[in-house]
Amino acid sequence: MDFAERYGPWALVTGASEGTGREFARRIAASGLPSVLVARREAPLTALAAEIRAETGLDCVTATIDLAAADAPDELVAAVGPRDIGLLVSNAGSDPNGSLFLERDVSAWLELVQRNVMTMMACCHHLAGPMKARRRGGILLVNSGACYGGASALGPYSGSKAFMLCFAEALWAELRPHGVDVLTLVLGRTDTPEFRRLLAEKGVRPPPDLASPGEVARIGLERLPHGPIHNWGQADDAAGMSNLSATQRRERVLAIDRITGQLFGRS
């Protein structure tokens, strides 16, 4: 199957208004899929949709949703409506705080966890069932190297990304027998407007080795069939961000899946 056949008839991209989300949306449209584009800011989202329509002639629906709000999952379901989503790119999940845990009111961290964990998981649950029934589809969860361990100023963020890592591995194991691809794309430092805004706020100059959002989108979609993990800038069999390579983690997931399958009578 080609890309549109494998992941159609519609795609959903969250955090689509700028940076990697914008590049995912453009590349998906260039591959022939109409999209539902979701972000918090209306103006850049509307401009991107108009740009995609002009370039591709494809339908492009927008929804302005704050994914950190408690009702975000319900708003996402309403935005999707009756459309058959064959590809989810969950891209909204940065840390706009860049601070130590006790330097912020707890409400900031609860919003981060709502966006990065609760809304993301609810969206996957809503969309994965129809994908499983069709026996095709894809779920791409954009992650961060912070998923492999915590540090100062990374507490809730690294915790939410560690959840995404383990969740993606489990979802991949569950859906792979049904033809649905799952990948968590683990990024390093990436040249996004959000990251540059945070650096400017802290008075820090951008480092020279930032990943390109366009390359992130290209590699992410290329690696989607080869889940559950791709570590940015590393070969599948090379360890670097963690002490295990993507290949070793894949083998570990399959080994544990066999054990749990036998335990719960799924083997």
Interval 13-39: pLDDT, tens = 999 999 999 999 999 999 999 999 999
Confidence of residue 267 (pLDDT cuts 50, 70, 90): low
Q: Can you tell me the mean pLDDT for 164-181?
A: 98
Q: Per-residue pLDDT for 262 more than 90?
A: no
pTM to 2 decimals? 0.94
How many independent structural domains does the chain possess? 1
Q: Per-residue pLDDT for 219 more than 70?
A: yes
Cα 98 to Cα 1: distance, rounded to the nearest angstrom: 42
The better pLDDT of the pair 182, 94 is held by: 182
Half-sphere exposure of 234 (CA within 13 A, CB side): 21
Q: Residue 157 catalytic?
A: yes
Q: Can you tell me the mean pLDDT for 72-98?
A: 95
Q: Per-residue pLDDT for 266 more than 80?
A: no
Q: Can you tell me the mean pLDDT for 259-267?
A: 81
pLDDT digits (tens, 9 = 90+) for 130-140: 999 999 999 99
Residue 206 · residue 196 · CB < 8 Å:
yes
> Catalytic pick from 7, 132, 148, 161?
161
Q: Per-residue pLDDT for 240 more than 80?
A: yes
Q: Can you tell me the mean pLDDT for 96-103?
A: 91
Cα 5 to Cα 12: distance, rounded to the nearest angstrom: 15
The range of the structural domain enclosing residue 128 comes to: 3-263
Confidence of residue 83 (pLDDT cuts 50, 70, 90): very high
The β-bridge partners of 180 are 137
> Catalytic pick from 7, 132, 157, 202?
157
Q: Residue 202 catalytic?
A: no
- Whichever domain contains 207, its CATH number is 3.40.50.720
How high does pLDDT run on average in the chain? Answer: 95
- Long-range pairs of 24-27 with CB within 8 A, sequence gap ≥ 24: 24/89, 24/91, 24/140, 24/217, 24/220, 24/221, 25/52, 26/51, 26/52, 26/55, 26/217, 27/214, 27/217, 27/218, 27/221
Q: Per-residue pLDDT for 47 more than 90?
A: yes
